């Protein structure tokens, strides 16, 4: 078997494998789309809140982040990184 024949065979096998994977993905997308439509038609995609469950209470954000502390922590991390990796 020559190198050209081996390259031809490997190309055919590569295209065949890629085609099979592509075909499987297409079938999987079609099945998932049909399943989604079936679930929607049966009404199984309703949220729990639609049945009268109480809505979650939003927690108010109090205070603002301490920008000086964040900047100091980042600076310390950079200095430590440079100290360790000083080569």
- Tell me the per-residue pLDDT of 67-84, one tens digit each, with 9 for 90 and over: 888 899 999 999 999 999
**By residue range, what is the domain housing residue 30?**
17-47
**Integer angstrom CA distances of residue 6 from 1, 3, 16, 81:** 7, 5, 15, 51
Classify residue 29: in a domain, yes or no: yes
Torsion of CA 44, 45, 48, 49, to 10 degrees: -130
pLDDT at residue 48 is higher than 60 = no
Which range has highest mean pLDDT (7-11, 60-64, 79-83)?
A: 7-11
Q: Give me the pLDDT at residue 20, please.
A: 98
Classify residue 5: in a domain, yes or no: no
Classify residue 38: in a domain, yes or no: yes
Has this prediction a pTM greater than 0.75?
no
55 compared with 33, residue with greater pLDDT: 33
């Amino acid at each position: 078997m020559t190198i050209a024949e081996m390259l031809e065979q490997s190309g055919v096998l590569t295209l065949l494998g890629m085609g099979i994977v592509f075909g499987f993905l297409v079938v999987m997308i079609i099945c998932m789309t049909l399943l989604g439509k079936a679930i929607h038609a049966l009404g199984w995609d309703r949220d729990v809140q639609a049945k009268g469950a109480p809505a979650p209470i939003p927690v108010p954000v109090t205070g603002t982040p301490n920008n000086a502390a964040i900047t100091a922590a980042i600076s310390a991390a950079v200095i430590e990184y440079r100290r360790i990796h000083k080569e």
